[in-house]
Structure 1
Amino acid sequence: MSPASLSPLEMLERLVGFDTESQKSNLPLIDFAQDWLAAHGVDAIRLPNAAGDKAALVATIGPKVDGGIVLSGHTDVVPVAGQSWSSDPYRLHVADGRAYGRGTTDMKGFDALVLALVPHFVATDLVRPIHIVLSYDEETTCLGVVDAIAAFGRDLPRPAAVIVGEPTGLEVADAHKGVAMCETRVGGTEAHSSRITEGASAVMAAGALVARLNALGDRLIGDGDPTGRFDPPFSTLHVATIAGGSARNILARECAIGWEIRYIPGVDMGVLQAEVEALSRAVEAERLTRYGPFGAISNVWSVDVPGLAPEPGSEAERLALRVVRRNRPVTVSYGSEAGRFQGAGLPTVLCGPGDIARAHKADEYITLDELADGEAFLRRLAAELSR
């Protein structure tokens, strides 16, 4: 049985203790959170993935009516392998006003605040509900929240606003770029390099395709950012990895290209993907099938996380600005699950304690003052929903 209460720092210690790197299961953490909620009389809906090794959790506190607020946080963290930590990354270490551990900022600090305040939320006379969402796979695909989003308006009341607790320093962020990642596989046919008409080099074809992707990236730069909100002020295309071939005198049988597009809201990724397919077919004709049916190109889009578009005056923006006592929203450079909520027609902003600059690094930390400020923010939010 869970104890009657835990401070935010004590709750953070519990959550950091679960190794929830994205390639691993988050079920022990979800079990703990579900037991904690149940101990305070709060039922939760468990939403497992297809493999059954991960799950999202959704809980509602307060009246079962429309118009509530979602507090959403992901439970997965990035790996620590290869990083030089000064202490065990999965054991909270507190020193000099800082709490160190993997996920303290991104974003178990917010999760800990929400769970630690469950007794307070339950005791508050809410007239609009607080919905808690704990998701998985945010660091990889942002798909672990999709089933939870679908539950609202079907199994649960439809909320009026969503606050995703990414580390914004408690600024209210209403915009970020989307990101689409692609793995391009170029297949060729091996032949002696002195007899290029008897095969096709996957590496040469890959180089031709990268040149065309460069040109597409330059065009995106030229298209700019009509909102004037983003830095850099345009969508970007970046080829990160390329690998293929076996010897200098053999036409390469295969080559792999890893690349991404980070796009401003409003860019139609479907149109861009179709353009990439057209470029691929053109390179096939020029480099892989010039002398015979010696190769092909395939593009696998492994990630497509939608951006968050500004919605001036939305319920989420107005409420969050009022509660955190800010005058205007900001833009962030990283992606999140917020675009998926927005895509379902739910007004959404980012707002949480901590600094994203500390995320994904060795000795990640959140300050005790940031936790205190985050707690005050959530207590004010509960007061707003009790009026």
Structure 2
Amino acid sequence: MAIDNNLYEKSIKILTDLIGFQTVSGTDNSELINYCEKILNDLGIETFKVFDDEEKRVNLFGTLKAKKTNGKKPIILSGHTDVVPVSKGWSSDPFTATIKNEKLYGRGSCDMKGFIACTLAFAPVFKESNLDRDIHFCYTFDEETACIGAPLLIKELKKRDIKNGICIIGEPTNMKIIDAHKGMNEYTIHFGGLAGHSSKPHMGVNAIEYASRYINKLLELRQELIKRAPKDCIFNPPHSTLSIGGISGGIAHNVIADKCKVEWETRPVNKADGDFVTKEIEKFVSEKLLPDMKKVFPNSYIKKEIIGEVVGFEKLDKSEACEFVSSITGDNSREVVSFGTEAGLFQEVGISTVVCGPGSIEQAHKIDEFIELNELKKCLNFLDGIKNKSIN
């Protein structure tokens, strides 16, 4: 059907507002969540929040109850509220929505505030319909940093016995169905050595040098992962990947660095590859690297900080969520991606899950990120399809 122009304009207005909230991963997202909660609460949709330890970052979950469900599974419309940091070079203010040539520019416009805006704009339509299934609105924090927020929310859902349904993760896929992706494990490794004058390097423990040896071992393991590529792997590249994201340490040219940290990640195609990397790098640390450091300075340390270990999204021969989306879009094709989402977390607790949302992943995380306005229309039409399958 042709979406009502007022509904389309409303989605643009909400997306404009959402972009104005600077919800970079790791920062306070409560103002955006309060904005979303007010829209839902004003419609009589019940909500609850799940906070992080500091009560600054928060997940929101809302439920529009059907008068009678007729045995139909509830629909969970899920999106993350955080965005990646902004680099220099934008043509306009990244946190002020700008429309040009049928595209809406702004950080998070496609990844993935566009989907959230559509769900909020369509909420009154769901409310006014005679639904025979519950509709859940799920908005999480810090997906971009190893999906920190979603596990806290899912834990609460299990407590409330909300563990059945069809979950639609609205990541930017041009409204195509994604039914599998790799896992994602992120780590920060902290090295502590002994400072001293650079003229006597043997008298200190240079944390940067040991961090470099650690990185070299990771690069060796990366080559092993390529060799371990499963036969007929569905992903591109067809093997688990490993990447060094950052290294920092030291204070001056002539001072032995006593501190250093390394940030790295691996995206395993299966759990076995993730376990392999963990086992091999920890063996290298315990049997070689750390003993060498302690020979000079017994208080040397290597500490592993787990940023997140996110399960992959497993491809299933039969997926109720994929079939549900296909019945609306008329597209039976399935695709896989190498980037991560929260899909595997919902799948892990028994909720049939699919990744499908407006916008292109090609625009995500880039300077001058945008979403084509037509993608918002496609998403609103999709939500209308959900409504039509959820009414008596």
What TM-score do you get using the length of structure 1 for normalisation?
Answer: 0.90
Equivalent residue in structure 2 for 1:235, among 192, 215, 240: 240
Assess if the C-alpha contact under 8 Å between 2:246 and 2:262 holds in 1. yes
Look up the equivalent residue of 1:101 and give its one-letter code. G
Assess if the C-alpha contact under 8 Å between 1:76 and 1:136 holds in 2. yes
Equivalent residue in structure 1 for 2:318, among 313, 317, 320: 313
Look up the equivalent residue of 1:68 and give its one-letter code. P
Matched, 1:122 2:127: yes
Matched, 1:206 2:205: no
Equivalent residue in structure 2 for 1:34, among 37, 43, 49: 37
Look up the equivalent residue of 1:367 and give its one-letter code. E
How far did 1:367 drift? 1.2
- The corresponding residue for 2:95 is 90
How far did 1:115 drift? 0.5
* Counterparts in 2 of 1:289 and 1:350: CA distance versus 1, 3 Å: same
Q: Secondary structure at the match of 2:243?
A: strand
Matched, 1:334 2:349: no
Q: Secondary structure at the match of 1:145?
A: helix
- The corresponding residue for 1:102 is 107
Per-residue deviation, residues 90-110 of structure 1 (Å, max 9, x unmatched): 222222111112211011110
* Counterparts in 2 of 1:214 and 1:17: CA distance versus 1, 3 Å: closer
Per-residue deviation, residues 110-134 of structure 1 (Å, max 9, x unmatched): 0011010011111222222111101
Assess if the C-alpha contact under 8 Å between 1:56 and 1:148 holds in 2. yes
Assess if the C-alpha contact under 8 Å between 1:209 and 1:283 holds in 2. no
Moved more, 257-266 or 59-68: 59-68
Matches within 5 A, 1:51-90: 51-63=54-66, 67-80=73-86, 82-90=87-95
How far did 1:245 drift? 4.8
How far did 1:292 drift? 6.3
- The corresponding residue for 1:275 is 280
Q: Secondary structure at the match of 1:152?
A: helix
Q: Secondary structure at the match of 1:328?
A: coil
Assess if the C-alpha contact under 8 Å between 1:311 and 1:347 holds in 2. no
Look up the equivalent residue of 1:123 and give its one-letter code. E
Per-residue deviation, residues 351-379 of structure 1 (Å, max 9, x unmatched): 00000111122221111111111111111
Look up the equivalent residue of 1:260 and give its one-letter code. E
Unmatched runs of 5 consecutive residues or more in structure 1:
none
How far did 1:338 drift? 1.2
Assess if the C-alpha contact under 8 Å between 2:225 and 2:273 holds in 1. no
| Counterpart-to-counterpart distance in 2, 1:364 and 1:305 | 26
Look up the equivalent residue of 1:380 and give its one-letter code. G
Q: Secondary structure at the match of 1:385?
A: coil
Equivalent residue in structure 2 for 1:382, among 379, 384, 387: 387
Assess if the C-alpha contact under 8 Å between 2:178 and 2:356 holds in 1. yes
Moved more, 223-232 or 365-374: 223-232
Moved more, 243-252 or 125-134: 243-252
How far did 1:249 drift? 7.0
* Counterparts in 2 of 1:202 and 1:86: CA distance versus 1, 3 Å: closer
Assess if the C-alpha contact under 8 Å between 1:100 and 1:365 holds in 2. yes
Equivalent residue in structure 2 for 1:49, among 31, 47, 52: 52
Moved more, 347-356 or 247-256: 247-256
| Counterpart-to-counterpart distance in 2, 1:174 and 1:75 | 22
| Counterpart-to-counterpart distance in 2, 1:204 and 1:12 | 47
Equivalent residue in structure 2 for 1:219, among 216, 224, 229: 224
Look up the equivalent residue of 1:176 and give its one-letter code. H
Q: Secondary structure at the match of 2:265?
A: strand
* Counterparts in 2 of 1:90 and 1:194: CA distance versus 1, 3 Å: closer
How far did 1:78 drift? 1.8
Matches within 5 A, 1:230-379: 230-245=235-250, 252-267=257-272, 269-270=274-275, 272-284=277-289, 287-290=292-295, 293=298, 295-379=300-384
Equivalent residue in structure 1 for 2:137, among 125, 128, 132: 132
| Counterpart-to-counterpart distance in 2, 1:291 and 1:32 | 56
**How many residues matched?**
383
How far did 1:38 drift? 1.8
* Counterparts in 2 of 1:243 and 1:17: CA distance versus 1, 3 Å: closer
Identity, % of aligned pairs?
Answer: 34
| Counterpart-to-counterpart distance in 2, 1:98 and 1:186 | 46
